[in-house]
Amino acid sequence: MAVFLDSRNDGFDARFAALLGSKREEAVDVDDTVAAIIADVRARGDAAVIELTARFDRLDLTPETLAFTPDEIAGHCARVPASERAALELAAGRIRAYHDRQRPEDARWTDASGAELGWRWGPVAAAGLYVPGGLASYPSSVLMNAIPAQVAGVERLVICAPTPEGKVNPLVLLAAQLAGVDTVYRIGGAQAVAAMAYGTETIAPVDKITGPGNAFVAAAKRRVFGRVGIDMIAGPSEILVIADGGNDPDWIALDLLSQAEHDESAQSILITTDADFGQAVIRAVEARLQTLERRAIAGASWRDHGAVIVVRDLAEAAALSDRIAPEHLELCVADPEALLADIRHAGAVFLGHWTPEAIGDYVGGPNHVLPTARSARFSSGLSVLDFMKRTTLARMTPEALAAIGPAAEQLAISESLEAHGLSVRARLERLNR
């Protein structure tokens, strides 16, 4: 049964702190195994990737079959029903339109000293997207990762998508095609991350790796960070709904279950100003769990990690929300804009009764790769900027150097960095001849 809390009751602070501090991920010690896999791939390249794929995915490959051929991709894409293709095309168009607006602008200006300053933006040269296989194979995640990279201008974009026992999700390949990805490798796990980071005889290394994965993939991303960039280490999904009594309890129940069905470790929380409404939502959740296809997963998530919290007012709801810093936040209240003004920390916010979080997962436009585990306090969701680099620019004229150079020389002397100061002094002396 989900936890039911009331902020007016004694002991609330301790129980809320316990809810925040609960660990929702199984502590699996995979780091030593992942370290060995990465070392093996670095040492033996293709041979290690092929051997590990046969062991973990029960799929025999050769260097020539590591990637899908264009004909294979076309054949699988042709199997996608028209209705699913149309939905994926709609999603791709909306995601691209949203991310087109994120492209940053270069800037150059001359300051009061006469120095010319600025910055320019440029894409990483190559990026690799990891796409989980099996039950967690989501074509929407392909679009959410690949389209921002393409909008950023990444020249080479590859996908690693495991196909256990050769089972292929045609929608994943169609999503790759719609996002402009030409190369899709049928490999997964830590070995795929290692191959993208360090390269093999067949797989060229990339500069950034993004995309979700299991504990082995997450550990591999941690280990290769520094050699390549990564997006984030994502934990189980989570949703917080702030709702007043003017909602349909069944709608809110479904919104909570939309995340609970992802994973037994997912978390769904309702904060409401109406205790009776909170109880009605609990009853609606229990009713829906009787018929939901993924009721075993959703039921475990709701039982072990779900919560309904009754608060005095929406100001208190906003304060608790900021302490949770949720991945997804729905504001199902009469005036969501007013409440939004009081919210500081959330990965994505969905405003009003008619905006279920599931719209954001697929066709809303904003990215669904979002910070979890309270990391929205200091990080953002995936964007075009994750695939770009900012280079600063500076040009000194003789007059500008004369104006600000002496201060640079003084600071260099203060830090006992003699050559630093002399590099400025030599130019200043030339000006004084």
Residues labelled catalytic = 327-328
Cα distances (angstroms) measured from residue 239 to each of 197, 279, 319, 372? 32, 18, 16, 10
Count of CB atoms situated within 10 Å of the CB of 70? 11
Q: Which residues touch 257 (CB under 8 Å, ≥6 apart)?
A: 268, 285, 288, 289, 292, 298, 302
Distance CA 220, CA 190 (A): 5
Distance CA 198, CA 210 (A): 15
Closest CA relative to residue 213, chosen from 230, 227, 234: 234
Beta sheet of 307-310, edge-to-edge order: 3-6, 307-310, 267-272, 238-243, 328-332, 348-351
Cα distances (angstroms) measured from residue 53 to each of 58, 66, 108, 203? 7, 10, 50, 15
Closest CA relative to residue 185, chosen from 108, 127, 130: 130
Count of CB atoms situated within 10 Å of the CB of 351? 16
Closest CA relative to residue 52, chosen from 127, 160, 182: 160
